[in-house]
Amino acid sequence: MTSVSHEHPHAPASDRPDLLAALAVDLTALDYTVGAVAELLGPAAHEALSRDQTVPALLATRAAADGGDPARAALAAVVRFFLLARPLGRAALDAALPALGAEGLLRLRLAEEADDAGLLAAAADLRPYEWDGAAGATRMWVASDLAAHQRPGVLRTDHVLGIGQASATLVQATARRPVARALDLGTGCGIQAFHLLEHAGHVVATDVSERALAFARFNLLLNAGALGIDPDRPEERFELRRGSLLEPVAGERFDLVVSNPPFVITPRARDEQAEDQFTYRDGGLPGDELVAGLVAGVGAVLAEGGTAQMLANWEIPEGSPWDERVRGWVPEGLDAWVLEREEASPEQYAETWLADASQQRDPGAYEAAYAAYLDDFASRGTTGIGFGMVWLRRPGPGQARLGRFEALTHPLEQPIGPHWAAAVERADWLAARGAVEPGPGRGAAIAGERLVVADDVTEERHQRPGAEHPGVILVRQGAGFRRTSLLSTELAGFVSACDGDLTAGQIAAALAGLLGRDDDGFRDRLLDEAATLILEGFLLPATPAEPEEKA
């Protein structure tokens, strides 16, 4: 399958490389970066804008425009135009963007004629974006549709979302490694593809929306230099395909798949049409069937050792544990690690997604839609909706078989992706020794290993006043998943002795002798618990000592 242009009359144009280059020159000259915009607005106004409150930023840009500094005035004009969606005259835009000019904005479909004669209005949100990667800071600009706080009325159903909380969550959660081929399933404006290009040789990005693909192509080509793309041969690095879920890549294999799919659970109407659905969030299937199908089917496009990470919602039937349905989605032969990050009631869920599309602006429609959500959930006996992150893998030789389903609702260190990758590596390390699953023989498998306490781990002891010994001993992680584990006195003693000098078996034997416990069951249980602490990151294999140089 070959790439196509993916031009769309109601999306930015990507078929004018000369104009894209001129825009990049202007934005670079303006220093239109995250840091420069934050400095221009000031901390309070910048923070308010992150909450979609524009008035403080309007005041700050007005002050910058009147401050007598031409460079700050030009940056303020671009911020007002693209981030605050305030119309500007052609002369102001020509001055701020001299290489492209107002006419170039119109030709790129980034601007349109405003109602007021002589003014132009932004036709898209264009904002700076950056991240720190392996090669240093990557700075770029991302176009998407204007959001609810930038335009009146309900969002269009083919709305192309910008860099929202969900997409940022997936960026931070992805366990990254160099790969040959990666898939961004449901690319939207292209945010996941941008990050994949940093460590993947080739990226395929798919979406059901032709308009979303047009935004993604514009963004990829506007930032060709930062993303290592040759504008004359973009197909060498990325390919855009239109289609639903896995259909555009059927029969292919990828080393890494990421997806922020349209996972929102939306009530179905008997007479609804595809154009009635918000394509950026609604997959058109009842309940959580879209996510269930994706989890069940993504293994078909994973290479051996390949991984998939996605965001998901799932329904929780009354009286059932949150993970019961999700476990049933994972096919035999795939590893799974699912983190539930939060749960919502049907009422909370309805309010969240009705507000997301500004549907509260039509009171009559809002009431009907709210009632439809509640009726839909009640029809399936759903009393809760979970949100979380799904990691899947087609394991290769020597890799662990994982089936972890856990609710972690406390704050995690971000980005969590590197810690997730390290956790999987520890599981594979244990698997190579036959020590992943708890049970007989697990302890013996690590008895010859030397262990150390992870640098971020601290210990807490709690005891009643006057008590001789603590009643509660906890170890806590200050980084990564930030887990807390309750230790027995014996296990606390084991952990305290893990400094890399003695093997785990020697420490267990010493504790058995000290406590008068010479039974094998004591040592086996202690080492079995230690293996769990390795899996969760409290204990780590000691780094082998470097051989001494001979004189």
Residue 274 confidence (pLDDT): 55
Q: State the Cα–Cα distance between residues 31 and 105, nearest whole angstrom.
A: 18
The domain made up of 434-541 has a fold known as: Outer Surface Protein A; domain 3 (3.90.930)
E strands of 69-169, at which residues? 88-89, 111-113, 119-122, 125-133, 136-144
Q: Which of 46, 24, 26 has the alpha carbon at shortest distance from 35?
A: 46
Residue 276 confidence (pLDDT): 57
Q: What is the dihedral of CA 414, 204, 5, 162, to 10 degrees?
A: -20
Q: Which amino acid is it at 11? A: A
Residue 437 confidence (pLDDT): 79
Q: State the Cα–Cα distance between residues 167 and 338, nearest whole angstrom.
A: 17
- Residue spans of the chain under pLDDT 50: 1-3, 545-551
CB atoms within 10 A of CB 368: 11
Architecture of domain 160-260: 3-Layer(aba) Sandwich (3.40)
Q: CB-side exposure of 301: number of CA atoms within 13 Å? A: 25
Which tokens in the block code for residue 541?
Answer: 């294999």
Q: 288 in helix, strand or coil?
A: coil
**Contact between residue 473 and residue 461 where contact means Cβ atoms under 8 Å apart:** yes
Residue 136 confidence (pLDDT): 82
Which tokens in the block code for residue 276?
Answer: 């009635």
Chain position carrying tokens 């007479």: 271
Residue 279 confidence (pLDDT): 63
**Contact between residue 128 and residue 24 where contact means Cβ atoms under 8 Å apart:** no
What are the residues whose beta carbons fall under 8 Å from the beta carbon of 550, sequence distance 6 or more?
A: none
Interval 372-387: pLDDT, tens: 999 999 999 999 999 9
Interval 66-87: pLDDT, tens: 998 999 999 999 999 999 999 9
**Contact between residue 388 and residue 325 where contact means Cβ atoms under 8 Å apart:** no
**pTM of the predicted protein model:** 0.91
Strand partners, 256: 182, 307
Q: 305 in helix, strand or coil?
A: strand
Q: 113 in helix, strand or coil?
A: strand
What are the residues whose beta carbons fall under 8 Å from the beta carbon of 91, sequence distance 6 or more?
A: none
Report domain extents, the chain. 17-126, 160-260, 434-541
Can you spell out the DSSP letters for 412-445? PPSS-HHHHHHHHHHHHHHHHTT-SS-STTHHHH
Residue 438 confidence (pLDDT): 76
- Do strands 200-207 and 179-185 pair parallel, antiparallel, or not at all (unpaired)? parallel
Q: Is 434-541 the same fold as 160-260?
A: no
Interval 258-294: pLDDT, tens: 999 988 898 877 765 655 566 666 767 888 999 999 9
